Every structure is written in C-alpha cells, then in structure tokens.
Amino acid sequence: MRAYLLVDFGSTHTKMTAVDLDGPAVLETAAAPTTVDDGLIKGYSEAYRRLTAKTGPLKFQKKLACSSAAGGLRMVAVGLVPELTVEAAKTAALGAGARVVGVYGYELTAEEVAEITGLKPDLILLAGGTDGGNRETLIYNARQLAESRLEAPVIIAGNKSAAPEAEDLLRGAGKPCYRVANVLPELGRLNIEPAQKAIREVFLERLVRAKGLDRVEKEIDGITMPTPAAVLAAACRLADGDGRTPGLGELLLVDVGGATTDVHSVAEGLPTRPEVFLRGLPEPRVKRSVEGDLGLRASAEALLEVASPAVVARLAGLSEERVREGAEKRRRQPGYLPVDEDERRLDEALAYLAVKIAVTRHAGSIEKVVTPYGVSYLQTGKDLTGIRNVIGTGGILVHGLRAGAILAGARFDPAVPESLRPVSPRFFVDRQYLFSTLGLLAGEHPYEAFHLLRAAIKEVRQEGAGFPGGENSSRQVQAE
C-alpha cells in the first residue's frame, strides 16, 4: 500500500482524504472545523483523529495540503487599460488560485492607494503596457506603491522596458517585489503562466508563514498550493486524462459555496461559426472566475439583490417576506442547515440562481452587428455552448437531493440566446467533495489522480423542464 494523506484547510472546515495510490482507491474521508488562531493544528488534529478512527493506524508516505484558510490568497490587480492589461492581470491572479479583492486601471490616485492599503492584500500584481508600448503608467504606479505604507509583496508583470525601473523603485523603498514576464506582451496575446508561477511561489515562501500556518507544517510535507488552484488542477486532469487514458474533454466545474460561487472552465471557447468574430482579449483555455455576491450563506443577501426576492420566492414557492428573512438568517449564521422543507427549497432556489448567474458571467456572449456587407456577430469571452460535461461541487450539491435541477442553471437558455452557456451538457456531482484534495495529486501522479477523480463523480440528470418549486415542476434522479 502507498498511503497518502491529502488535506484541504478550508475557511470553515479542514477536509482530509486518505488514498492508496496502489489501487488507486480512496480509503476514507473526514473533516473538522478549521482553527486558524492556533495555526490550524487543532482542527488538523481533530480531523486526523476522526479519519484514523475509520481507517485504523496508517503509515502515510506523504502528507500534502492546500489551503484557503484565513481568507485565502487576497490579491489586488493593477494595470493600464481595464479591458486589456487589467483584465490580463486579473485572469492571471484568478488562475493561480487567488481571491481578487481589488482591480485598478490607469494611474493610481492617492485615494486608490489608500483604498488598497485598507484592503490589506497578501499580494499585488502590477501590470501595464505591452512590450514596446506605454512605459509611464507602470513606473508611475510603482512609485505610488513604493511611497505607500503597503507591505504586501509586489509581482511586476508589465512592459519589459519599464519593469526594471519599477523594480528599482520598489526595492529602493524596501518593498518585497518579484519581476516576471509581461502578462500582455502584445495586443491579443496573453502570457499569464510566469505570473501565475510567481504567485504560487510567493504563496508558499511567504504567505503560509505570514498567516501562522507554518505551525501545522511540522505534521505534513507542506502546503503546496491555494485550494482553488488544487480544484483547477483536478478539473484539468479530469478533462485531459492521464496521458494514456483519454479524459472527459472540455468541461465546466461549478463550486457553490457559502461566500462565493467559483466557476472553472477547461475549454478553448473560440467562435464555432464562420460569421462570428472574436472581440477583446483571447480567453485562456483554463479559466477561473469568482463571484463574491453569489454565496448561499455569507453572501445570501447579496445574491438576493442580484436575483430579486420575487424570482427566488417563485422558484422556492415561498413568500417574499419568508425569502428575505431566510437570506438574513443565512448571512448571520454561516453554519446554518435547513430545518424543514421550506428552508431546503429556499437553499435550492438560491443555489440554482447562483449557478445560473455565475455561469452566465463566466461564459462569453454574442452580439449581432449589421454591416454594409451583411450581418456579422461579435463574440466576447468564451463560447461554451459545445461543452458536454458540467460538474458540480459544494455542500448543497454534494449533500443535496436535487443536484441535477440546480446544475440546470448552467444550461443554455433560448430566452437569452446571447449567453454562450452549454447547450446539451451531462451533469455530474463530486459526491464526496474530493476535488480539492485529489487535485494535490494531479501533477505528480496523473494516472492515480485521473482515475480517482473519474470514480469520484456521479452523473445526475434532470427529467422534465423547469426547477423544483417553479412554474414547471421537474424531477431529478441519480443516473446509475
């Protein structure tokens, strides 16, 4: 037996998975509340006790971990033009597993620098200008950051001719900084991998220890990546296969949580028709988006503002007053669990809308344009209409009974033809909440990770149309 312990230090729970790589097989799972104040060790010890109570004594060859505890990796992205270098910086940060808490374009004002300081980011990604393009903005913003009270490390990923001067300004002010290749070296070409690599390295070298998480590292072989990066690694492995066995192909992964709904796509997303032309930056094949106003607990009232109480009430079959009271209760009590059928229906309606809105924001859109030469279409973002696999994870999908109906929110809606969501996908659920932990194996053990992930997802389907509690009732069953 080659036993590995895989740990995800989440913001609320520490999740453990024991696997045997010789199988490969999942041996057992366990979880306990995360305890940040003591360096995670108390929560880790309790989860380990619960796990080994199921498995008996095990000798683990390795103990690997990811973490989003203590708020995860909080980043600010700064660039030049919002639609170009700012968007490139944001894409790089999200793809590396960061939580982007602020995005700024053009020259930073004193008020914006004060705002960034108040956000207390763990990292700042400073971009701006294509290579051979604008130099002044990158240098100006570097000077503004150098003269500030900010202590967060700065990753410089802008115009290559201005980056050395920007680095000198920051280092001269005693600011920790790292210089990498430009995230947007030329118009229409992204180069985000060097910045993402630097983000992960800084996470490992500085941030784990800065948050006091090093106390638990004595018990494990290291916190190797942020949790979202582990989930994205798992999605890529499942899509691409293990090098010998083909994967599922292009897919969409939706993670519905209490504070955010994250969407990950592994797809090219290029236009599929000759009369459609791409507008704006090309999207990366592997993309992650985070929606901080679409959670089921801490962000429940924000989700209600986006979706409207009337829509939620109709879907859940409840009064608008009951919906508002339920959202407030969920915001005040992040650990709340439904106690009756009405509360369960409210959770499901909120989750359905979170999926629908998050996937709509993640997917591209198409716009009709009439020209002297006829009708053309402009596509912004990724065309996901051809994706055949949608995977759901998160508490309500893992533990709920109507996962297929909730995930139907990701599907293309003929009433909104401009939104390029999947047209005819199959729905799967990560039934044991394993994507974050199994993602830790995805790089070093591709064969084992792929087969464990393939076994971890179960297909669900939706019969009929509509959503439970809505105008057209539907029934979701698990597919054998």
Residues 29/17, Cβ–Cβ less than 8 Å:
yes
> What mean pLDDT, rounded, does the chain reach?
89
pLDDT computed for residue 71 by the predictor: 66
Residue 70: pLDDT band by 50, 70, 90 thresholds?
low
Q: Residue 473, SS3?
A: coil
Q: Strand order of the sheet with strand 13-20?
A: 25-33, 13-20, 3-9, 62-67, 223-226
**Res 37 pLDDT > 80:** no
Alpha helices in 179-226 (DSSP H): 193-202, 208-210
Q: pLDDT digit string (tens) for 449-464?
A: 999 999 999 999 765 4
Give CA–CA dist 360/253, Å, rounded: 13
Q: What domains does the chain contain, in order, with CATH numbers?
A: 3-70 (3.30.420.300), 72-206 (3.40.50.261), 233-296+347-478 (no CATH)
Residues 73/214, Cβ–Cβ less than 8 Å:
no
**Res 475 pLDDT > 60:** no
Q: pLDDT digit string (tens) for 275-323?
A: 888 888 888 899 998 888 898 998 899 999 999 999 999 999 999 999 9
Give the closest residue to 151 by CA, choosing from 172, 182, 122, 184: 122
More confident residue, 56 or 375: 56
Backbone CA torsion sign across 113, 115, 116, 117? positive
